Structure 1
């Protein structure tokens, strides 16, 4: 790539000069590069001097619009509301309610702890950091590390993050970068207000490279999340395209279990569910053992809900169906069936694809939570007519992926915040 020199206008009395040894390939990466170099926080607008309009400033929407070699940019920082730092308790790929229905005993994803536990690096890197920290505490000197050392640190951090989630959120990168500087203050960035902005964005790029490396090595979870929604009209339903906050968790098979052994356990569960008195302790253990093969089947084969029920009855804890309920649920793709149960009491049932899949729920909020959990567990896309309703539940009430909303939901979120503040 061409080396670029930039004159950055941040304010009337704040004009800086920076250069890029390698211009990023995408606009988002370029904005991240500017955010790191300028040490600015929050959102901002970038404008460039357009030669077609006598060097008047225009918003930058494509890197190809930049002049070659040198360019003057204006960076306008946008005021933002205080962000909600509530740590979501929902693992990527499934909600907390889904995990209660289909919870693996091992290999599950979870949110990053704060502060993040920084792993140990190789002996030579640890030796550099120890001496660097001593020098920092003695005279405030920062450690000048090589590119290879920085790459090794980032690689180790990416590996540690992946143990929790392959798709960390923005706050996760903040957490890890800040924890790194707190443990090794000699790695602070000179001229940066907080000292870890560049580490944050370098870690973000390294995490993407680390996922690519694992994907090339055959990691099924990352391979399936790379594919977009199926466009084959012959499929039973479209494979849900996973967003950053809704990843398809697809773990590998347990090391001590073969596909044949897991199939025998599945057949044993079908037999167990036909008994008058089900051994639920045994069922829960077998459900946990077969989680990986069940998840792979659901994500890759896209079976209908009734097919999943026939093969994995323990996932729904189904007791029976009735003719009256069949007529009521006809044509209901997603919903909650409310049945009166005495004075001022109701029973709630969860419906998917015209089938009652969960019964005897005593509270409506619990039924809604179970419905959302099943949608995640069974990899079903939100129905079009209710997409905003489910988006509000997911991104505002559950706070899963709330920083990436549609325009309507984002507007509602801002109005709710203003109401709380006032």
Structure 2
């Protein structure tokens, strides 16, 4: 689809999308990422019947080939401490108090409630960190300093108050992307700051920004303490003491993003409490029992209850069987894709794009001499040679990847025939994929009787069609349920996360980094 996106009268962009997201929220997320839009906005489209702009509430209303969209930015607070940050600040800072509203009962009212959750982070850490606009007096001094630097190379001498203002604004902007940045992230921010404002270059420093890097790090720590003090749940959760009756030690675990999640533990939406959100959850359970559930209602309800669900998963760590009872919609392919986007601000289907981009090189590596003695890898390549369709190449790449990473996939993928008792195969299986096929000796069968995902010795999803689709949904479930990668398969899952899906690709282990270099060579 070809898009003409009107951001302002002076800023009109042309954009081509290979596929259209199945929801307005999904389309907005794509536009935010591709056009680098940081503020909250609504969309209008040029209607073919009325020849005028109308509010976009359903992607099915869009013309098929060419679309003109208009971006309508939502008004933000005029408070100078919140500009460029209002989209990510916790609700506890956005308002001092709010009245609790009753539970929404219709899809439209639920949709309005999801606007309260618009404060969640909307994108991953950017390739180039956007240095924010500081207060007017700071910007004026920086402009004068940059002019003097270009003319004579003179560096700007800044006061403690000015430095504090700069660091606070940077900390706010960093928090709009992630809560716990690494030293590498702080280095990116410091480098971007000095590149935009060369007058801030540090004399005597090799990089010119080493001191800024550590100043930003300490300011970020102070900023987190400030947020924790006003009730930010994402930060409060790690400061709680273990209760006297808590023998499982769950509160001793550090509960923070480990795999580049952007909305790991958000606060409840403004104006909502656990009780009203629990009522929404119960209505969803009843809706899911229908033969044909209202998918639009389920979408809105799942979005509105996201924060409640994350607090339950992260803080209580319930068994997966209990989650299936409480949140049945979460174990559907449609909601796995949507929940993954809510959690990581990324489209889960980037998995296919990343896999396909490395497919040819990866299969070449599988044919190296050192794998000739690995019978499973040899059989896999021989089966692929019989029919090298793209879907079979994907399956071969995913099944051969563990062997290449020096791991044994037998604990992850098991095969059985339709007449075999499935309980025997999934016994002891903590996380894995069960393939039901007519011939268990054929690595790449023409078709599957069933493809299922197993978690904690229970089949949680069935009828997934093929191996690539099973891996996509398994990755989604691991993220959504906050489950660790299996230790014996950690490098395989790291490749899928960092190289195929592009999540946290800048922080690879040495083994995965070695594969990355070979794939890009």
Please report the TM-score for the alignment, with normalisation by the length of structure 2: 0.53
Q: Structure 1 residue aligned with 2:512, among 401, 413, 417?
A: 413
1:14-413 equivalent positions in 2, closer than 5 A: 107-108=120-121, 110-225=123-238, 234-235=247-248, 241-242=254-255, 245-246=258-259, 249-317=264-332, 324-340=421-437, 344-346=446-448, 347-391=450-494, 393-394=496-497, 398=501, 400=503, 410=510, 412-413=511-512
- Provide the C-alpha distance between the structure 1 equivalents of 2:319 and 2:304, rounded to a whole number of angstroms: 22
8 Å CA contact retained: 1:229, 1:241: no
8 Å CA contact retained: 2:451, 2:467: yes
- What per-residue deviation string (whole Å, max 9, x for no partner) do you get for residues 203-252 of structure 1? 12221222222223321112335679999984398986457634681101
Please state whether the residue corresponding to 1:275 is helix, strand or coil.
Answer: coil
- Provide the C-alpha distance between the structure 2 equivalents of 1:227 and 1:391, rounded to a whole number of angstroms: 31
* Stretch of structure 1 that moved more, 241-250 or 163-172: 241-250
- Provide the C-alpha distance between the structure 1 equivalents of 2:128 and 2:486, rounded to a whole number of angstroms: 38
- Provide the C-alpha distance between the structure 2 equivalents of 1:354 and 1:236, rounded to a whole number of angstroms: 23
- Provide the C-alpha distance between the structure 2 equivalents of 1:222 and 1:400, rounded to a whole number of angstroms: 23
Cα 1:228–1:140 shift into 2, 3 Å: farther
8 Å CA contact retained: 2:156, 2:199: yes
- Provide the C-alpha distance between the structure 1 equivalents of 2:252 and 2:447, rounded to a whole number of angstroms: 38
Please state whether the residue corresponding to 1:360 is helix, strand or coil.
Answer: coil
In the alignment of these two chains, the number of paired residues is 312
Cα 1:298–1:189 shift into 2, 3 Å: same
- What per-residue deviation string (whole Å, max 9, x for no partner) do you get for residues 159-181 of structure 1? 11101111224443333223222
- What per-residue deviation string (whole Å, max 9, x for no partner) do you get for residues 37-85 of structure 1? xxxxxxxxxxxxxxxxxxxxxxxxxxxxxxxxxxxxxxxxxxxxxxxxx
Deviation of 1:182 (Å): 2.8
Deviation of 1:302 (Å): 1.4
Deviation of 1:358 (Å): 2.2
- Provide the C-alpha distance between the structure 1 equivalents of 2:423 and 2:246, rounded to a whole number of angstroms: 28
- Provide the C-alpha distance between the structure 1 equivalents of 2:120 and 2:185, rounded to a whole number of angstroms: 20
* Stretch of structure 1 that moved more, 334-343 or 309-318: 334-343
Structure 2's unaligned 5+ residue stretches are: 1-116, 334-418, 440-444
- Provide the C-alpha distance between the structure 2 equivalents of 1:201 and 1:260, rounded to a whole number of angstroms: 43
Cα 1:278–1:326 shift into 2, 3 Å: farther
- Provide the C-alpha distance between the structure 1 equivalents of 2:478 and 2:253, rounded to a whole number of angstroms: 10
Deviation of 1:145 (Å): 0.6
- What per-residue deviation string (whole Å, max 9, x for no partner) do you get for residues 289-327 of structure 1? 000001101111111111111111110029xxx995455
Q: Which structure has more RCO (C-alpha within 8 Å, separation ≥ 6)?
A: 1
8 Å CA contact retained: 1:220, 1:250: yes
* Stretch of structure 1 that moved more, 141-150 or 371-380: 371-380
RMSD value over aligned CA atoms?
Answer: 3.5
- Provide the C-alpha distance between the structure 2 equivalents of 1:344 and 1:312, rounded to a whole number of angstroms: 34
8 Å CA contact retained: 1:333, 1:354: yes
Structure 1's unaligned 5+ residue stretches are: 1-103
Cα 1:304–1:249 shift into 2, 3 Å: same
